[in-house]
Structure 1
């Protein structure tokens, strides 16, 4: 509570207050106070995966830290469980599609199939993670 009061006092009269509070509330499914989990990047083709702007592999790559390599750790703030399916069969990996996508603190997305998090199936995220608010789709260009 002291840290929050100190932070609030520091930005009290600033015109950035709405932006700062919005950014804090966006850190995951439940808003302020939601949990996050640390995961390791694993099972990636060619040793790396991209972070995307939206939970789709056809989405543009994220602007900040777009590439994660095998063994890197990432903080996951929330998940969606009904995203674009990602399949990576072979080499001992399960032969099924995973529709789970993980959101990182910077707002980018990575396919959960490439992380060490458990719970790749079902409706509920692993313990300590919430569901993300429904992501807005990528803007469709005007004709």
Structure 2
């Protein structure tokens, strides 16, 4: 029996989709041009670099001691204050708009219709005076009190079911804004 000194050639055959398949050292199979292709190689490199950068950032000494950012509040009312629920009433068929400040003028396009429930966090007792041409019985026709909502927007207190208490103290333990 003769022994050949020629290197063994790799067997080649075509797969179902006519992609060249090469048998390499027994069980390892290389499909196509023998690798991932340029996009696959770039993706693999990007993944490896991203992992290395994430590990380096996590290992930085100051990263472990960095304070967690805290939210900031633009209202002077206590952020821990429990909001008071109020219902929009007597606002007519158009409802009421929300405002960026406790006065009329530029308003947001959204608002609340009669019966809507709102969450009030504080009251501004010296806002712009609001006049109701047809006040409900027992309600004032002029009222300068505005309610700040949990959304940060303002609505006139005139059209809520909160008690209309004169003076500088808001009702129901609401803080002043």
TM-score by structure 2 length?
A: 0.56
1:124 matched residue in structure 2: 169
Residues in 2 aligned to 1:57 and 1:44: alpha-carbon distance in whole angstroms? 15
Unpaired runs of 5+ residues, structure 1, are 1-11, 133-143
1:8 matched residue in structure 2: none
1:84 matched residue in structure 2: 128
Q: Which one of the candidate residues 22, 35, 54 is aligned to 2:82?
A: 35
1:99 matched residue in structure 2: 144
Residues in 2 aligned to 1:69 and 1:75: alpha-carbon distance in whole angstroms? 14
Alpha carbons 2:145, 2:158 under 8 Å: kept: yes
Alpha carbons 1:112, 1:120 under 8 Å: kept: no
1:119 CA displacement: 3.1
Residues in 2 aligned to 1:87 and 1:116: alpha-carbon distance in whole angstroms? 16
Residue correspondence of structure 1 range 65-76 to structure 2 within 5 A: 66-76=110-120
Residues in 1 aligned to 2:140 and 2:67: alpha-carbon distance in whole angstroms? 55
**Segment of structure 1 superposing worse, 75-84 or 34-43:** 34-43
1:61 CA displacement: 1.7
Alpha carbons 2:93, 2:113 under 8 Å: kept: no
Large movers: runs of 4+ above 3 Å: 91-95
TM-score by structure 1 length?
A: 0.68
Alpha carbons 1:113, 1:120 under 8 Å: kept: no
1:114 matched residue in structure 2: 159
User: Radius of gyration: which is bigger?
Assistant: 2
Q: Looking at both structures, which has the greater relative contact order when contacts are Cα pairs under 8 Å and sequence separation is at least 6?
A: 1
Residues in 2 aligned to 1:62 and 1:99: alpha-carbon distance in whole angstroms? 20
Q: Sort the Cα spacing of 1:88 and 1:105 in 2 relative to 1 into closer, same or farther, 3 A.
A: same
Compute the RMSD of aligned alpha carbons: 2.2
Alpha carbons 1:28, 1:35 under 8 Å: kept: no
Unpaired runs of 5+ residues, structure 2, are 1-65
